[in-house]
Structure 1
């Protein structure tokens, strides 16, 4: 079976006035269709750079990325990207924010609009469609941002510290919300985060990166002995502490 995402020996070097900086070095990873994969590592290790390369936003210095077997040469419509901030426009209603991607791609069709209405209804925002972002809670805004991403029907979602702007309690609830939505919609997800607990609770496989230049230090298959796993229930599982200690010991923050 062809992997949803295959990263093969990716390296990225930047040229500055002070010389060459190596951000990534020979990074390889694979993500299966429908899988939720997490990437953790110390600050500055190139996690977000790796996501941008997968998305086709920047080119690697060497190596290749394949999405469903096709080489990434630029921005790929099969990939949706969620950043740290929800980036909702205050002058647009929630509905207008959600269909923004469709407008940009000139895909505002009756079928697509029906899909948007379905997503708003299913995930609790239909009664807030005419509200503006400032009228919504942080968690609701994040759901709106995800629905905006899902509206263009990507196969793969890239989450770059997508919950870091939320307070701790809201973040826990949104982790559960977003995880359930991604699973219900059958999407493949790659999440970058500094939060070890968040990475373990949401991921089915976890890549631990070294300090810069970023390399893959460890790959962990995250398995919990439970049915209908959620991020919140995963945090309460006895295996959780074991995974946390494994990741913590490998992170280069102690050096």
Structure 2
């Protein structure tokens, strides 16, 4: 079987005055096209470091990443990265912000412009394209940030606590929007989050990591009984939701 992402025995050590500090130890996972994967684990266990390795921004100490059955850790054009903040330029319009990546790549041709306009129209931002980020809600800003990422046509989206800066109500609404967009565009998503409920509501599979040096403690295939098409919101109403939540909570060994 062919996978879009193959993570092969990744290890990562950091240098310190006291010698090497192991951050990640022997993580392997295979991800199919169109899957939504969530990674949860204790704070400081190396989740964001793993995303940076997948993106090719950090070279692992051992192991390899294979993207699209080809280049190891160097397919940056196949990967889009969304961070905790939207990082929209406040002095630029929404249209200028979402075109930024194409402008940097010198790829602002007619086809790509039309693609971006289509994304703005499809996902409800067309009438706000000449507005500035400060004039938009937090949810709309995050949608704009995703469209900026999608404009470069990545195959894989990495989301690093992409909703953590939002208040709870906005966060619930934005997860609906982002989930819908990712599924409609048939993108492969790998998301790091501390929110167990959020991971269950969005993921096809969840990987639970141990404390540092992190390794995979367990993996869950998420199967929920939803009365309608699955969305993050109605996933929370599924009878299996509480079971997954309790199991993952126990695996994380969270102490209050």
TM range (shorter): over 0.9
CA distance in 2, matches of 1:60, 1:71: 15
Gaps of 5+ in 2: none
Where does residue 106 of structure 2 map in the other structure?
106
Matched, 1:244 2:249: no
Q: What is the Cα deviation at residue 16 of structure 1?
A: 1.1
CA apart distance, 1:96: 0.3
Q: Distance in 1 between matches of 2:118 and 2:239?
A: 37
Partner deviation per Cα, 1:140-171 (whole Å, 9 max, x = no partner): 00000000000000010000000000000000
Query: Does 1:54 pair with 2:54?
Result: yes
Alignment match, 1:179: 179
RMSD value, Cα:
1.1
Aligned pairs, number: 255
**How far apart, CA to CA, are the structure 1 residues paired with 2:131 and 2:255?**
46
SS of the aligned residue for 1:242 comes to helix
Q: Does residue 226 of structure 2 align to residue 232 of structure 1?
A: no
Cα shift readout 1:57-105 (whole Å, capped 9, x = no counterpart): 0000000101111232435101000000000001110000000010111
1:20 corresponds to:
20
Pairing 1:208-219 to 2, within 5 Å after superposition: 208-219=208-219
Q: Distance in 2 between matches of 1:71 and 1:241?
A: 40
Residues 1-255 of structure 1 mapped to structure 2, 5 A cutoff: 1-74=1-74, 76-226=76-226, 227-254=228-255
Q: CA deviation at 1:14?
A: 0.3
Deviation string, structure 1 residues 21-72 (Cα, Å, up to 9, x no partner): 1110000111100000000001001000000000000000000101111232
Distance 2:181 2:99 in 1: 18
For the residue of structure 1 that corresponds to 2:81, the secondary structure is strand
Instruction: Tell me if the contact between 1:3 and 1:30 (Cα under 8 Å) persists in the aligned partners.
Output: yes
* Cα distance between partner residues in 2 of 1:54 and 1:70: 14
Query: CA offset at residue 18 of structure 1?
Result: 2.8
**Is contact 1:211-1:252 (8 Å) kept?**
no
Give the Cα separation in 2 of the matches to 1:250 and 1:137: 36
Instruction: Give the gaps of 5 or more residues in structure 1.
Output: none
Report deviation, 1:107.
Answer: 0.8
Q: Which runs of 4+ in 1 moved over 2 A?
A: 71-75, 252-255
TM-score normalized by the length of structure 1? 0.98
Q: Which secondary structure state, in structure 2, belongs to the residue aligned with residue 214 of structure 1?
A: coil
Indicate the SS of the match to 1:77. helix
